[in-house]
Structure 1
Amino acid sequence: MRGPLWRLLWDSKRDAVFDISLVIGLHLTGRLLGYLYEPETPLDAYAWIGGVWASQVLNGLMDLLLVARRRFPVVLLSAAAALAAAQALLIEFGPGPLLQNNLETDPWGPGVTPFAVYAAVVYASGPRAKRVWVWALIGVLALVAFRPWTLPGTDPIVAAAIWTVLPAILGLYIGARRKLMNALQERAERAEREQRLLAEQARAEERARLAVEMHDVVTHRVSLMVLQAGALGVASTDPAVRQAAEELRGSGAEALAELRDLVGVLRRGEDERQPGRGDGPPEQVPDLGELIAQSEAIGVPVEFTAEGEPDLVTPAVARTAYRVVQEALTNVHKHAAGASVRVSAVYSDDRVRLTVRNTAPRGPAELAGSGAGVGLRGLRQRVELVGGTFRAGPTDGGGFEVDAILPGYVPTEEAADA
């Protein structure tokens, strides 16, 4: 069974404490009144059902049933109406009362009648037939309490009104107030949801604007750089210049490819990052061996482990995975001199997980102030942009860990399609 047992009857611990305290208080109050006031009805009048103890048992059972007034108000009301009707019939046509009364003018019904009426009006919900049944039971209780066939005096009428009519009116007021409060709360929640949707729409429009600006400005400039580098490589006769121009052209072409992926993701939005047909040919995560070799070449020992088969992923994911490891190792070079590094790559069917953990630094961080201080923040944004999760923070022993989980598929859009 899910959840604690008290959840079967109450929504909160406060309701449970209140109802249990109410039951105990009513039971003790009834016993106290029985001791303080001598009943006008002779005790032998109850002998046909086992004496006054039977009446006390019935009242005790009704007190226990009162704890279920929030979950089962109709059951409580039905039991109260049945006992009230039996009380009236047995007094008028039978051997005597079923329940003990202290005074002759007391309403003929169990002591929990006001609470049963109130709970049924407030908590009973459902089809119209159920509501009609509730008011019919309340009518039975009111009829027995007023006893119009006996033409009682003023005191019994006032007691009967307090016993049945007043709880019903109070229940109607509390029920209407609750409906109003629920409606206001629902309206506030709906307004909050609409506000979030408007904010998301504004972010989507801003993303689209940024994508257009990146395409119109950055892509144009980088394309000119690539073309000029290619022209320089063709026109120059110096091998060193031609090699430098080719490297520049290659770097520019790679930057254009990454920019194309980022622009595509910006224009797609969050809701379209679902598995399907990509806009470009899938590829494997770039070989991380080059990054490992570069770190080891400058004296940073790196342990690399890979689990699973590197399945094909979309270009945006492949380049993001490469950048995660690259930025993490760069931070180790800057901030963790003399530390050892462990790089882990786990490939599964639908995601790639990369973890870079370094030990505590063993020397001064001479390059700590050389960066702009936004590397991890930018890396987080890049990972979240393709629908992944990113976590970075210190570890036990003074080390640091970068952990990124990337989806296997992220649709992109060719910049040339814009």
Structure 2
Amino acid sequence: MGRARIVDVGVVALAGLLTSVNMATQIPAFRAPYDAIVGGLLLTGALSLWFRRRAPVPVAWFIAGLAAMLVAAVWMWPGAEPGTQSEADSTLLPAAAPFAAYSVAVFGRGRRSDLLPLAVVVGIACLGVPPAARVSIVIGPVLTLVGGPAVLGRYLRARAERREREHQLSAERARIRERQRLAAEVHDIVSHRVSVMVLQAGALHLTTADESARRAAGELRATGCQALAELRDLVGLLSADGPAQTSAHADREPLPDLSVLVESSESVGIPVETRTVGDPALVSPAVGRTVYRVVQEALTNVTKHAPGSRVRLEVRYLPAEVEVSIHNTAPTGTGDAALTSAGGGAGLLGLRRRIELINGTLRAEPCADGGFRVDAWLPSFVRATGEGR
């Protein structure tokens, strides 16, 4: 049994003990079977506290009903011994009421309406004041027994929420520091080495007389420049203090040409139907390259895992967002086992993290027709550190 359940057992037992004491001191003597009925209902109120964590407000309303029943039992029900009167300073209040008030403050939804059953309990207790008593004498103890636990519970809840916020802020600061450390490593190691590779490829392109070597060097240089651009995006996003900022003033460019990826898939027997919805708009470079990677990863996975399927690629331009959808039908062939086992799903995981860095969303899931679907929602404009300055 967990600590919370042990506390709940203790609360129920304590409320039951106080109820038994109150039955002997607070309620006048009743003729049978009214004494058993009243006592049984009040003990039921104590037992209801077992649900105070899951349903604090319904438990409080139940206690309010018991308070009304207690007043009715003393002043309206038949069965009281003739001449029996409550003490002038007595308070008709179920023993479970303070516990219910505390539970509402701690475990409730935090709405003002949650306090309504507590106000009803106080009002009923004041209405049940004996004729010889003054409400001013009774209202103080009632407010203390109901309002005191509620105030204490609210204070403890606020303190717990403050500690939770501080913990989240501390964790977020730790994540930012780790991201900045990774950005520094990427910049110092990877970017430097890729830059050297690009320079060497450029020198080879200019100096070699072999045409095939010149062509290969040019392609290597272009690939290296593209990798540097993507590394610059990644370093900027990792260096930012938190997620990428949406910015309408960031650099803008058209989406990269996706036809190269489409032609590559079709060359290995994967037909791709493309569709564009909306007017093509300019987007941030980081967004455009991320869209390219989404389509590239999705089509690569189709080639590996779904040979013989057909693919539908759709790009939607929304007012402040770009949505990319890649859906493939069920495969008709069996993929190469060695090719299928390569990667282990790390591509989609890395892609998801990259998309989250620019405040986007990725959804990848199987479809009812046996195919697979990848959907990505990306903001049109983001600004990483150093961009747009």
TM-score, with structure 1 as normaliser: 0.66
Matches within 5 A, 1:7-406: 12-24=57-69, 26-27=71-72, 30-33=75-78, 37=81, 114=92, 145=132, 168-169=140-141, 171-270=143-242, 273-278=245-250, 281-366=251-336, 367-406=339-378
Conservation of the 8 A alpha-carbon contact between 2:71 and 2:92? no
How far off is 1:211 after superposition?
A: 1.1
1:290 and 1:272 mapped to 2: Cα distance? 28
Label 1:139 to 1:392 Cα distance change in 2 as closer, same or farther (>3 A): closer
2:294 and 2:241 mapped to 1: Cα distance? 22
How far off is 1:348 after superposition?
A: 1.3
In structure 2, give the amino acid aligned to 1:303: E
Label 1:16 to 1:274 Cα distance change in 2 as closer, same or farther (>3 A): same
| Deviation per residue, 1:16-66 (Å, 9 max, x gap) | 333235435643564433x5545xxxxxxxxxxxxxxxxxxxxxxxxxxxx
| Deviation per residue, 1:97-147 (Å, 9 max, x gap) | xxxxx56x66789x9x7459x99xx89x9xxxxxxxxxxxx999989625x
How far off is 1:363 after superposition?
A: 1.4
Conservation of the 8 A alpha-carbon contact between 1:341 and 1:357? yes
| Deviation per residue, 1:60-80 (Å, 9 max, x gap) | xxxxxxxxxxxxxxxxxxxxx
| Deviation per residue, 1:318-337 (Å, 9 max, x gap) | 00001100100000000011
How far off is 1:265 after superposition?
A: 1.2
How far off is 1:179 after superposition?
A: 2.3
Structure 1 gaps, min length 5 = 1-9, 39-101, 126-137, 147-159
Conservation of the 8 A alpha-carbon contact between 1:391 and 1:404? yes
Conservation of the 8 A alpha-carbon contact between 2:92 and 2:128? no
1:329 and 1:141 mapped to 2: Cα distance? 75
1:196 and 1:331 mapped to 2: Cα distance? 36
1:260 and 1:21 mapped to 2: Cα distance? 68
Higher-Rg structure is 1
1:143 and 1:339 mapped to 2: Cα distance? 83
How far off is 1:172 after superposition?
A: 1.6
How far off is 1:272 after superposition?
A: 5.3
1:306 and 1:294 mapped to 2: Cα distance? 19
The range that moved more, 237-246 or 262-271, is 262-271
Conservation of the 8 A alpha-carbon contact between 1:351 and 1:408? yes
| Deviation per residue, 1:230-262 (Å, 9 max, x gap) | 111111100000000000000001100111111
Conservation of the 8 A alpha-carbon contact between 2:308 and 2:331? yes
Structure 2 gaps, min length 5 = 1-54, 103-111, 113-124
How far off is 1:405 after superposition?
A: 0.1
Corresponding residue for residue 35 of structure 2: none
| Deviation per residue, 1:199-224 (Å, 9 max, x gap) | 10111111111111111111110000
| Deviation per residue, 1:261-302 (Å, 9 max, x gap) | 111111123355122422xx3101112122111111111111
Conservation of the 8 A alpha-carbon contact between 2:246 and 2:379? no
1:173 and 1:25 mapped to 2: Cα distance? 16
Corresponding residue for residue 44 of structure 1: none
Label 1:285 to 1:170 Cα distance change in 2 as closer, same or farther (>3 A): same
The range that moved more, 298-307 or 179-188, is 179-188
Label 1:170 to 1:12 Cα distance change in 2 as closer, same or farther (>3 A): closer
TM-score, with structure 2 as normaliser: 0.70
2:366 and 2:302 mapped to 1: Cα distance? 12
Conservation of the 8 A alpha-carbon contact between 1:229 and 1:245? yes
